[in-house]
Copies of this chain bind each other. A is one copy, B any other.
Amino acid sequence: MIGGGTDAFIGAIHRAAAFMDNRIELVCGCFSIKPEISISSGKQYFVPDDRIYTSYQEMFEKESKLPKDKRMDFVTIVTPNFAHFEPAMMALDLGFNVVIEKPMTFNLDQAKKLRDKVNETGLTLALTHTYSGYPAVKQAKQMIEEGKLGNIRKVFVEYTQGWLSDRVELQGENNATWRTDPKRSGKGGCVGDIGTHAWHLSEYITGQKVTKVCGELNAFVPGRPIDDDAAAFFEYDGGAKGVLMACQVAIGEENALKIRVYGDKGGIEWNQQEPNTLLFKTSTRPTEIYRVGNGFMNDASKFNTRTPGGHPEGYIEAFANIYKNFSLTLDAKLNGETPSKAMLDFPNVNDGVRGMQFVETMVASGYDENKKWFDWVE
């Protein structure tokens, strides 16, 4: 693991998610750019002293010299956006598979290089678009693949939070500081941080790709040098239209990611804050409440479920599904087998490239007051 010291939020989630299924062990790491924090964190995580490193370069070098059955199988990168690319490239070069936080890189150019490297090495890269890991989301995706919604017409996807309603980045709020600093976050603020999740979810569930964007970006909080609000109209390649809303100044909202998809036969609605429920709507029958863990759920949902109905699964379990499927894929490849579609069901380097394209397209469109529609940046 690179990053994820005891002072960081997302690293702890990665570890809980990775450990949950008893398939993954934390064997080494460089947990902070501050050596003392890396060491104290590693000790607290029960990592052997000689495998707690103080730079990722050192880690990769030493680990790559260990015998195959001793060295780490993959590395998780949970640093701020600007520090994703170099360690990921180095990992791939030295033969390590990679799990990486989104957005995948600092800019689109890096993303494409990473994609080329993955293709060249044949290694596996997982991107933690967590929300696609929920079983109810898998249910929705499979229902659409099976035609239960008919031709998709309209997508509403929204992701609202309130934690940036004040300028908390000036008050020492760690998670806010780098996210609102274009030098560390990249061109996109809100659009990169949560807009990417919302956009990705819409492509993941519908199986359609956005081709055109009419976007709007706002920075509502005085003095903030990057967007804290974004909206867009979408056109998808399968004929659907969409509206995206992403807002980090929706005061009082926690983490309100919600998607609705309407076809000519049926519609679905899913809300991340009650993630075990999926509504299915038609024109002639009562709306149905699909609940995770029940016998009537489909295969994709069941493959990613740990508990029976009514025993709620949450964010960490969704996260764990990415790790579980990633590790099943690694195992299959290690055994010379072809991973199944179910094993490969995690966001990968291609999602990462498209994510950076999404940010680029939104930034181009959002800051242009004249031109209405922008083609997807390639």
Contacts and interface: CB of A to CB of B under 8 A. Distances in A.
Contacts of A306: 12-13, 16, 316
Nearest to A373: B369
Interface string A214-239: 10101010000000010101000000
A119 interface: no
Contacts of A241: 216, 218, 229
Nearest to A274: B274
A290 B307 CA distance: 25
Q: Is the interface of A mostly helix, strand, loop or mixed?
A: loop
Contacts of A364: none
Contacts of A243: 231, 243, 245
A247 interface: yes
A18 B48 CA distance: 20
B296 A285 contact: yes
Contact of A316 (B20, B162, B260, B368): B20
Contacts of A285: 288, 296
A273 B370 contact: no
A19 interface: yes
Contacts of A282: 251-252
A282 to B, nearest CB: 5
Contacts of A281: 162, 251-253
Interface of A: 9, 12-13, 15-16, 19-22, 26, 45-46, 153-154, 156, 158, 160-163, 165-166, 214, 216, 218, 220, 229, 231, 233, 241, 243, 245, 247, 249-256, 260, 262-267, 272-276, 280-291, 293-296, 306-317, 368-373
Given A280-B286, A307-B315, A372-B372, 13 more contacts: A154-B220, A243-B245, A252-B280, A252-B283, A254-B310, A254-B311, A284-B296, A286-B291, A286-B294, A287-B291, A307-B316, A313-B316, A314-B317
